[in-house]
Amino acid sequence: MADTQATCPMESHFVRGEHTLKVPMSLFRENRERLAAVLRGNTAVPEKGAFVVLQGGVEVPFNDTDISWPFRQESYFQWCFGVEEPDCYGCIDVTTSESILFFPRLPAEYAVWQGTLYTTDDFRKRYAVDKVYYTDEIADVLSERGASVLLTLNGLNTDSGLAAREAVFDKIGQFNVNNTLLYPEISECRVIKSPREIEVLKYVVKVSSDAHRAVMRTVRPGLAEFQAEAAFMHHAYSVGGCRHVSYTCICGSGHNASILHYGHAGAPNNRVLKDGDMCLFDMGANYCGYAADITCSYPANGKFTEDQKMVYNAVLDARNAVMNAAKPGVSWSKMHLLANRVMLGGLVKGGILVGDVDQMILAGLGEVFQPHGLGHLLGLDVHDVGGYLPGHPTRSSEPGLRKLRTARTLKAGMVLTIEPGCYFIDCKLDEALANGDQAKYIVREELERFRGWGGVRIEDDVLVTETGVENMTDVPRTTEEIEAWMTVGRNSKLPQECKFSDA
């Protein structure tokens, strides 16, 4: 993909090979300037002497060994600075937007293991910031600049239930610290993507789309789920330069396709695909910290049965309805209900359900077949921040809606996933059949045919524009498109059948 951004030739970039997108460090400078401008407009922030202080991610050792987990930068720190190294701090002077980075002062012998130890001036040029010091100088530097209040990060992530990491450094106690002002302001900034951020997101979604296409032509009976995962990761890294995926790959086949977050340690994508299986593969690459999140569902043998086609089209119709209706000013909660209404209507046409769809929604039947929300914000985190910030709709307690990761009204510049799904989950079906208010809509003998069948999810990454949404995902979506795409390469060998030549 060509670099579509007008950048200075001398500007430092994040890049992974000449064939990958060059991300200019000015992206992060613009983010810092946006944040500082917002904070200057907050009457609770002093006119002078206010500094944002963020602590970057730290290297995490693998249990008690002397190796570490692959490092990924803390997301708020990445948004502001784009720094690749661990154990750093960053400050922003709210009044002037001046940026300061602090790096660990490493002993000289580290050069043997880590290569050249860069100077503070090297880091200043690389990350296009105003000043760089060492982390043991933070208190002195802030004192010299007359810091009257430090704005630190402290807030609850409404997706994980975990608190953001608040900056702590030696002698921080000598400063006036405010840990309530920053979180809602910086989180709201992250909700609306800048044009440069959108370019990165389009790139990583394109890489992920192409990787999904590669997997579709790899998949067939006899392949293991983890081999599909490996095919995705190989393409994303070797072609797209994406060293990381944004979450553990979900490669469910057969019944596993009904497990929403399959692929975890207890179920590590290890089933072998069988003829007649539906596959549900949810995978997204990560580039420069930015996430993609795409789900494709299709038959392992490349040909839909009538039952598979019926369920798939019910979900596809729901996805299409939301694509056509979503635009600025529209409630995401209403989009979720629209998707559920269309999907349940498809199941009525397929003979699994009977009755009035609106009454089914009131009875909570939508949550039986789709026990998750319609989608979520997307950015530096796959479930990006901003879902339930102050001043926006709170989480509903109603069936279905209570699973939403946000209930916000859409705005131009938001990036979200649209991911309706239909699953046949034994415990949910058993609960529904035991519930008279729900069971009366279910055609029991038809439903039994789908026990152990799995599920379908169709997930696209979309940008909210001034007039609607732009789908950044580019994969086959209709049953005809999928079957045509999967026809190619059906006779190639399985990976385990490929032998190295002795020649």
Strands 99-103 and 460-464: unpaired
Side chain identity at residue 137, one-letter code: E
**Active site residues per annotation:** 66, 261, 282, 293, 372, 376, 383, 419, 423, 457, 459
The dihedral through the CA atoms of 442, 448, 449, 451 has a sign that is: positive
The answer to whether 444 touches 392, Cβ cutoff 8 Å, is no
Strand partners, 89: 55, 102
Distance CA 17, CA 438 (A): 55
Between the two ends of the chain, the Cα-to-Cα distance in Å is: 37
Distance CA 158, CA 286 (A): 22
The answer to whether 273 touches 255, Cβ cutoff 8 Å, is no
Sequential DSSP letters for 101-148: EEE----TTHHHHH-----HHHHHHHHT-SEEEEGGGHHHHHHHTT--
Distance CA 215, CA 245 (A): 15
List phi, psi (to 5°) of 10. -90, -5
**Residue listed under structure tokens 């994508």:** 269
Q: For residue 235, how far is the Cα from the chain centroid?
A: 18
**Dihedral through CA 273, CA 279, CA 282, CA 283, nearest 10?**
50
Three-state DSSP state, 474: coil
Q: For residue 83, how far is the Cα from the chain centroid?
A: 20
Strand partners, 279: 253, 298
Strand partners, 469: 464
- Count of other CB atoms within 10 angstroms of residue 502: 4
**Helix ranges (DSSP H) in 326-476:** 332-349, 357-362, 365-369, 426-433, 436-439, 444-447
Tokens coding 456: 């379908």
- Indicate the burial class of 18 (C-beta count within 10 angstroms; 0-12, 13-18, 19 or more): exposed
